[in-house]
Amino acid sequence: MQFELTRLPASQEPRGCVVVGVYASHALTPSAKQLDQASGGAITAAAKAGDISGKPGDTLMLRALQGVAAQRVLLVGCGKSGEIDEGAYQRVVAAAAAALGKLHAADAAFYLTELAVAGRDEAWRVRAAVAATSHALYQFTEYKREPGRRHLKTLAIGCRARGGKPLEAALAQGQALAEGVRLARDLGNHPANVCTPGYLADQARGLAKKHGLVVEVLDEAQMGELGMGALLAVSWGSREPAKLIVLKHQGGKAKSAPVVLVGKGVTFDSGGISIKPAATMDEMKFDMCGAASVFGTLKAAALLKLPLNLIGVVPTSENLPDGNAVKPGDIVTTMAGKTVEILNTDAEGRLLLCDALTYCERFKPEVVIDIATLTGACVISLGGHASGLLGNDQKLMDALLDAGRSAHDRAWQLPLWDDYKEQLRSPFADLPNVAGREAGTITAAAFLSAFTDKLRWAHLDIAGTAWKSGKEKSATGRPVGLLLQYLLDRVGA
């Protein structure tokens, strides 16, 4: 989908459809008012007749209004007039986009950017409108013989501020974000028989070529030489070789310390010998969504030519049962030298991540953020609304929390006190890979914290936010929004 800005009054917009807002009180947004005047009261009449309630997300399509250039007018309910919050804005925009998705028009002009969002300016509203419409119109049809096609190709975003620059930048940021999210969703939605560790490596090579990134893919022999015994153990039961993918965007000064993103890339998590129950096991194809979010963020950063150095590190493997698979009780040696007793082969993400985090030390990073679908416990505690956030650097975590609020891709901090670290005791090795049922998200992070002493580090547990289950089953592309916003905030864009 193409996005552009429009500064035309709504009644003069010649595109196939103009989208304007109606409040629950039948009050009209400025562009709705303008259309109403141009059409001799057609919108007030529709509202008075009760055809549109003004409830958030309610929509009504009108056709061929006198005095209006566009063929169609889409009225969208916006709730109570006055300021709304980020989430309400996104929901109204998504409802409008869903109606646009059914439209037989190639283009439309979108004026819901007029809604007042508390604490946010017009640039924010433009960026969020692009991201939210693109999100709502997303379809994954790669494996459908007869994909239902969308007609809408171009969406013009209505705006007022003159002098262009900040809104042009906001539009570009929204588009880059949409591209990054789309990539992350596509990668997540591919089945695990296609999206293997080798496939992710090929994707990284493709991204590097297309966007001028530097790529390196370490194979199992190279990881063996580095002593990545934990990462490699996850892959023992798999016929697809594990990889460690490194992708670099060098937009900053040569010597400026990079931001490093580490993404869990388990392309299918059966649990291994500690096998998972059958119900919903298909969803474990999404266990590489951390990796996908790293690729998506790198793509967006490259599209925007962000002036900073950014490195993505993706440890990727399958987790399968097999005669060669790692067994409960097996002990392996990590790259850091610590030994780990693998009590549960289903706690494999932390085994990949601990070696990947140690590997990050060589980049002398400014900060390291890992992103992982790490624990079912996180789905229980925060559901699908917030990603879990833990780490050893409060300043970094505050910046991530803030970026999450701004992108409406929120995170919520959990405590990483020493008390939790004491739960990690093994009679045989330096560490066990699990510590009982209590506080599973925190003990998983506590395990990782044993490998991040030399780093300013934060961990995002996206088990609840990376995909949706049930009827709307799909990767969400989270937390690309949060991560890109964090980078934009860092460079002051």
Q: CA 89, 92, 98, 103: dihedral to nearest 10 degrees?
A: -110
Minimum Å distance from CB 449 to Mn ion?
19
Is residue 481 within 8 A of residue 408, CB to CB? The reply is yes
318 lines the binding site for Mn ion (CB under 5 A): no
Residue 3, beta-bridge partner list: 155
For residue 30, give both structure tokens.
Answer: 């400025």
Smaller CB distance to ligand BES: residue 183 or 442?
Answer: 442
Looking at 107, 269, 318, 370, which residue binds ligand BES (CB under 6 A)? 269
> Quick one: which of 303, 195, 208 has its CA closest to 247?
208
**Of 51-59, 308-316, 345-353, 448-456, which segment contacts Mn ion by CB under 5 A?**
345-353
By rule CB under 5 A, what count of residues binds Mn ion? Answer: 3
| Helix/strand/coil percent split, the chain, to 5 | 40, 20, 40
Site string for ligand BES, 456-485 (x = CB under 6 A): -------x----------------------
Identified catalytic residue from 150, 276, 338, 405: 276
Helix 197-211 × helix 289-303 angle, to 10°: 10
Minimum Å distance from CB 261 to Mn ion?
21
What distance in Å separates the CA atoms of residue 457 and residue 365, rounded to the nearest whole number? 10
Minimum Å distance from CB 34 to Zn ion?
53
373 lines the binding site for ligand BES (CB under 6 A): yes
Looking at 36, 346, 409, 461, which residue binds Mn ion (CB under 5 A)? 346
Looking at 36, 114, 186, 269, which residue binds Mn ion (CB under 5 A)? 269
**Residues 313-352 close enough to bind ligand BES by CB under 6 A:** 344, 346-349
Smaller CB distance to Mn ion: residue 13 or 318?
Answer: 318
Identified catalytic residue from 248, 350, 410, 478: 350
Looking at 58, 287, 370, 409, which residue binds ligand BES (CB under 6 A)? 287
Minimum Å distance from CB 379 to ligand BES?
5
Which letter does DSSP use for residue 418 in this model? H
Q: Which does 170 bind (CB under 5 to 8 A by kind): Mn ion, ligand BES, Zn ion, none?
A: none
What distance in Å separates the CA atoms of residue 79 and residue 74, rounded to the nearest whole number? 16
Is residue 18 within 8 A of residue 154, CB to CB? The reply is no
Minimum Å distance from CB 355 to ligand BES?
16
Binding positions for Zn ion, rule: CB under 5 A: 266, 269, 287, 349
383 lines the binding site for ligand BES (CB under 6 A): no
Is residue 25 within 8 A of residue 81, CB to CB? The reply is yes
Phi and psi of 79, rounded to 5°? 75, -160
> Quick one: which of 99, 126, 100 has its CA closest to 4?
126
Looking at 187, 231, 314, 377, which residue binds ligand BES (CB under 6 A)? 377
Active site residue 425: no
Burial, 275: exposed, middle or buried (Cβ in 10 Å; 0-12, 13-18, 19+)? middle
Type and span of the H or E element at 480: helix 480-491
Which residues are within 8 A (CB) of 71 and not within 5 positions of it... i.e. 6 or more apart?
16, 17, 63, 64, 105
For residue 467, give both structure tokens.
Answer: 């995909």
By rule CB under 6 A, what count of residues binds ligand BES? Answer: 16
Q: How far is CA 269 from the centre of its chain?
A: 20
Minimum Å distance from CB 339 to Zn ion?
22
Which residues are within 8 A (CB) of 167 and not within 5 positions of it... i.e. 6 or more apart?
5, 122, 123, 126, 159, 161
Active site residue 276: yes
**Of 78-86, 197-205, 261-269, 355-363, which segment contacts Mn ion by CB under 5 A?**
261-269
Q: Which does 434 bind (CB under 5 to 8 A by kind): ligand BES, Zn ion, Mn ion, none?
A: ligand BES
- Indicate the pairing of strand 309-319 with strand 243-250: antiparallel
**Of 50-58, 340-348, 353-361, 388-396, which segment contacts Mn ion by CB under 5 A?**
340-348
Q: Which chain residues interact with Mn ion by CB under 5 A?
A: 269, 346, 348
Q: Which chain residues interact with ligand BES by CB under 6 A?
A: 269, 287, 344, 346-349, 373-377, 379, 434, 440, 463
Catalytic residues: 276, 350
